[in-house]
Structure 1
């Protein structure tokens, strides 16, 4: 290794140690109710900070709130944000099999009004979570990525929306005319669930509605390219999409 490269590597490692030392990530499950029904999310924040940089609301994949979303929440908390991984299905209604994943997510797709109520109620709960702030960006993965667009179409007042390899189809009777904040799409060019024609249709719809938007397409990446351990996991696409997210958060929340 050349001297300059060694110096850069040592400096980078030193900065990482300093940041790690200053970050005291506190994560815990958080119970809330919607119309009297019990839901359980997960909240992570940096308790060493006098003030959070903003709140990131995370919508889970079709298998419900798992350690995947909790890990993402912890990662965001280590950057100084408050992260709230919400529960769409209900505390006592968590899927435990592929069949139940399909059933639970299918119920939400079949009843869009109920889906929207649960998403907006979780957004309203941000006011009460530890470290919660008024400035919120909503993100989601796969089913959660579709949920991001679902919430955006309600006209929810946030600072932005980010969909990772989400379902991009537009439900019958809906449009993007009421979207109140910018949308960022992170998608793989080889995604068999929502292909490039779906991406193009979404971008056309956002453009027609006058919604500020951007999209980053990861060449060759398939569905679930950010999900560790899955057959579709793509390290390069995961890193690039995370960098795009953090840049978006700095622009919209800081």
Structure 2
């Protein structure tokens, strides 16, 4: 297995400084870049391990603290195993932070993250890929639509609110996307009901976006996150296969 080097980095943004985790193969050679958007629980040990696994496959991976406006990591104190059923106050603390991440903030921040990758000696020249989880899937879609000249592939897993009826819904950027997209939806996910899945599919098809959207049967919202009770090993391995296949086709 490829040795991986992971380091903490700071990224200047228009609104402050975002702390982040940067992982890359230890041989020091520049590699294709992947911007990795976390779920609502943010940058934490398990997400660093996911970034390391992706880096071991031959990529330079940046995982930003997207909630940096509210503090450095950990923005919210979390147990090693995150179970909202045990701590019902968790979403009272996390929810407002997630809602504060408006589309205009996402777009500004994405520009800063992409500039950081472009400036890194560990990143090969050319476009990047983006992947995101839960709320990060929304950020992945918005980034692909806002920076089509920089994003060659984008993925999202167990994403929520991807195609709402609001005027700032992420699916409305479809007409600007030039990347290839992949989405692995959770089954019976209340944050992404069937009508939103259909609306997203129709928007991507109408815009001529190369894409594949799949529902993972029986998988709950959060199925990739082994530090939560939603984890589903079979669905998680399916996610890894789909993501690496997308990256292989892109780079």
Report the TM-score when normalising by structure 1. Answer: 0.84
Q: Which moved more, 1:140-149 or 1:126-135?
A: 126-135
Cα drift, residue 206 of structure 1: 0.5
Report the Cα distance in structure 2 between the residues aligned to 1:129 and 1:42, rounded to whole angstroms. Answer: 13
Give the number of aligned pairs: 229
2:157 corresponds in structure 1 to 164
Asked if structure 1 preserves the Cα contact closer than 8 Å seen for 2:28 and 2:122, the reply is no
**Cα distance, 1:123–1:50 mapped onto 2, change above 3 Å:** closer
Q: Which moved more, 1:235-244 or 1:96-105?
A: 96-105
**Cα distance, 1:68–1:229 mapped onto 2, change above 3 Å:** closer
Residue 230 of structure 2 is aligned to residue 244 of structure 1: no
Cα drift, residue 130 of structure 1: 4.9
Report the Cα distance in structure 2 between the residues aligned to 1:208 and 1:221, rounded to whole angstroms. Answer: 28
Residue 62 of structure 2 is aligned to residue 84 of structure 1: yes
Asked if structure 2 preserves the Cα contact closer than 8 Å seen for 1:26 and 1:45, the reply is yes
Asked if structure 2 preserves the Cα contact closer than 8 Å seen for 1:88 and 1:119, the reply is no
Cα drift, residue 49 of structure 1: 5.6
Cα drift, residue 79 of structure 1: 1.0
1:122 corresponds in structure 2 to 113
Cα drift, residue 200 of structure 1: 1.4
Report the Cα distance in structure 2 between the residues aligned to 1:69 and 1:230, rounded to whole angstroms. Answer: 12
2:146 corresponds in structure 1 to 154
Report the TM-score when normalising by structure 2. Answer: 0.85
Cα drift, residue 45 of structure 1: 0.6
Selected match of 2:91 from 57, 81, 98: 98
Cα drift, residue 116 of structure 1: 1.3
**Cα distance, 1:65–1:55 mapped onto 2, change above 3 Å:** same
- How big is each residue's C-alpha offset from its partner over 1:31-74, in whole Å with a ceiling of 9 and x where there is no partner? 1111261111100111226342x111101111222222211110
Selected match of 2:37 from 56, 59, 69: 59
Which one has a bigger Cα radius of gyration?
Answer: 1
Cα drift, residue 227 of structure 1: 0.7
1:227 corresponds in structure 2 to 225
Q: Which moved more, 1:191-200 or 1:220-229?
A: 191-200
Asked if structure 1 preserves the Cα contact closer than 8 Å seen for 2:216 and 2:235, the reply is yes
Selected match of 1:179 from 177, 180, 194: 177
Q: Which moved more, 1:162-171 or 1:178-187?
A: 162-171
1:141 corresponds in structure 2 to 133
Cα drift, residue 241 of structure 1: 1.2
| SS of structure 2 residue aligned to 1:166 | coil
| SS of structure 2 residue aligned to 1:231 | coil
Report the Cα distance in structure 2 between the residues aligned to 1:229 and 1:37, rounded to whole angstroms. Answer: 29
Asked if structure 2 preserves the Cα contact closer than 8 Å seen for 1:192 and 1:222, the reply is no
